[in-house]
Amino acid sequence: MKNLIKKIVLTVGGNLGSISNGIHILNSHYIGKNDLPKEIFHDLLFKLSKQADFICIEDAVNTIKEKTHQNQKLIAFTFDDGFEECYTKIAPVLSDFNTNAAFFINPGFIDGNENYYQNFTKNIVHINKPPMTWEMIQELHQKGFVIGNHTMDHVRLVGLKNDELDYQIIAAKKRIEEKISTDCNFFAWTYGRNSDIDQTALKYCLANHQFVFGGDNYTHYYSFKNDRVINRRHVEGNWPISHIKYFLSKKKVYS
């Protein structure tokens, strides 16, 4: 009953509301938990494109810094964990709409053996989806997509020692840069809540990346540390347009 009421509220509220002005940086992982066709994501973006303009992620973060977004409805895309469908399904659809995304990846997931893969999918991300290969990631980078750091092993960045932070943040960044032959300037911490990263880890992230992304509190966008730490809004590629409109109609503030 509780889920039914929630669904009704999201559907009715979304159908009655409209996307609010500002930049909406969306955070997803896949089209859906099951193996869904890319046409579902294409249909969602087609509907969103009638309500707002899409903006490349680099332009989005710079616009936030310049504070020139108040009277526009703009949407930028990010995807965490680096699942294979980011390459096979999601990126081609984004290209159809002349926009890009930041794909935040875990090098350990890409490089891991079968035992690593089984543990990662079963116990960490809780979904059985394969990762992109480095060849896929290199191709996406060459096509104008942003490749970001999501820690080496998708760990929660709380209470880690310096050598652990070096490995999870700095070594992961270097591995990505080695593979894409350019700087990795974007970082998204795992699990997304502000309680999932401590101040020591955040300092590591900021010292090694230009922008850092979280995902806490869907009703309120914000940025801090001179607009270098930016909040995102969680959606997935198979959500009904009315549900997404409900969330994107909420007032947000970048300060």
The DSSP string of 131-194 is BPPHHHHHHHHHTT-EEEE--SS---BSS--HHHHIIIIIIHHHHHHHHHSS---EEE-SS-SG
Q: Provide φ and ψ at 222, rounded to 5°.
A: -160, 165
Look at strands 223-224 and 229-230 and give their pairing. Answer: antiparallel
For residue 136, pLDDT beyond 50? yes
Give the C-alpha separation, 175 to 169, whole Å.
Answer: 10
Q: Widest CA span of the chain, in angstroms?
A: 52
Specify the higher pLDDT residue, 6 or 125.
Answer: 125
Give the C-alpha separation, 80 to 237, whole Å.
Answer: 13
Give the C-alpha separation, 233 to 11, whole Å.
Answer: 18
What average pLDDT does range 13-27 have in this prediction?
80
Q: Is 214 helix (H, G, I), strand (E, B) or coil?
A: coil
Q: Considering the domain boundaries, does residue 13 fall inside one?
A: no
Q: Considering the domain boundaries, does residue 127 fall inside one?
A: yes
The pLDDT value recorded for residue 8 is: 54
Q: What percent of the chain stands above pLDDT 70?
A: 89
Of the pLDDT bands very low, low, confident and very high (cuts 50, 70, 90), residue 207 is very high
Q: Considering the domain boundaries, does residue 15 fall inside one?
A: no
Least confident of 95-104, 118-127, 242-251: 242-251
pTM of the model: 0.94
What is the CA angle 80-84-88, rounded to 5?
Answer: 115
Q: Considering the domain boundaries, does residue 242 fall inside one?
A: yes
Give the C-alpha separation, 19 to 245, whole Å.
Answer: 6
- How many domains, the chain? 1
The pLDDT value recorded for residue 218 is: 67
Q: Considering the domain boundaries, does residue 11 fall inside one?
A: no
Q: State both tokens at 43.
A: 């249909």
DSSP of 89-145, one letter per residue? IIHHHHHHTT---EEEE-HHHHH--HHHHHHIIIIIS-S--PBPPHHHHHHHHHTT-
Average pLDDT, the chain: 91
User: pLDDT digits over 142-186, tens only?
Assistant: 999 999 999 999 999 999 999 999 999 999 999 999 999 999 999
Q: Considering the domain boundaries, does residue 187 fall inside one?
A: yes
Q: Considering the domain boundaries, does residue 253 fall inside one?
A: no
Specify the higher pLDDT residue, 23 or 136.
Answer: 136
Sign of the dihedral defined by the CA atoms of residues 60, 64, 67, 72, in that order: positive
For residue 249, pLDDT beyond 90? no
CATH number of the domain residue 49 falls in: 3.20.20.370
Residue for token pair 């009904």 = 240
For residue 226, pLDDT beyond 50? yes
Q: Considering the domain boundaries, does residue 6 fall inside one?
A: no
Give the domain range for residue 163. Answer: 23-248
The pLDDT value recorded for residue 255 is: 40
